[in-house]
Chains A and B, each alone.
Chain A
Amino acid sequence: GENVEQHPSTLSVQEGDSAVIKCTYSDSASNYFPWYKQELGKRPQLIIDIRSNVGEKKDQRIAVTLNKTAKHFSLHITETQPEDSAVYFCAARNNDMRFGAGTRLTVKP
């Protein structure tokens, strides 16, 4: 089955700086790559996703890039704010969705 690896496991940035989280996947048939944000004690919530026929997608301060050849995708958050502090998960889907281990992002005011 699909194997998703995510780095780094923790990331601390200063408010206003950018944050980048990277993931790799193993199944070349995967065609959908979402990113979820999970705040403490809450459910994971989708923040952005990208399909395999697109290389980049942007939504305000967040963007995702996909390199199908390298089987690599990344989340970029610009102008970070304290409320961006949470755990972020990448995922990849072929017939079912598999998740990375998560990145704990801390944005320091």
Chain B
Amino acid sequence: DAGVTQSPTHLIKTRGQQVTLRCSPKSGHDTVSWYQQALGQGPQFIFQYYEEEERQRGNFPDRFSGHQFPNYSSELNVNALLLGDSALYLCASSWGQGRDTGELFFGEGSRLTVL
């Protein structure tokens, strides 16, 4: 079982650029959630995808968008990058939707540095 895989592991961008991060969920999982983890902070919820639709969203601007594909993999897109977007972006997968979903499994993350 490959678990949750994310790519790329590290990347450097400059302000104003756009970035796409990718995630493949754990086998058997159909729900993908994205989190932003700044240094020394807890994971902050960005949004959750299920059945190719955004189901829940945290307090993040529209510059953050996503997509889920029929094979349950997902992308996180961030436009007009700001210095403050520098963080570890974690993808987490689970099965089901709503209050009865299972355990959340995390990937190793994509570390984004914005210069």
Contacts and interface: CB of A to CB of B under 8 A. Distances in A.
Interface stretch (A14-22, A62-70, A77-85, A88-96): A88-96
Interface residues of A, number: 25
Contacts of A34: 103-104
B74 interface: no
Nearest to B3: A43
B56 A95 contact: yes
Contacts of A89: 42-43
B103 A49 contact: yes
Contacts of A97: 33, 45, 92, 104
A57 B13 CA distance: 45
Interface string A37-59: 00000111110010000000000
Interface string B28-72: 000001010000111111001000000110110000000000000
Nearest to A98: B45
Nearest to A45: B106
A101 B42 contact: yes
Contacts of B90: 43-44
Nearest to B4: A43
Contacts of B106: 36, 43-45
Nearest to A89: B42
Interface core residue of A1, A34, A44, A91 (most chain B CB under 10 Å): A44
B99 A93 contact: yes
Interface of A: 1, 6, 29, 31-32, 34, 36, 42-46, 49, 89, 91, 93-102
14 contacts: A29-B99, A31-B99, A34-B104, A43-B109, A46-B104, A89-B42, A91-B104, A93-B99, A95-B55, A95-B98, A96-B56, A96-B58, A101-B42, A102-B42
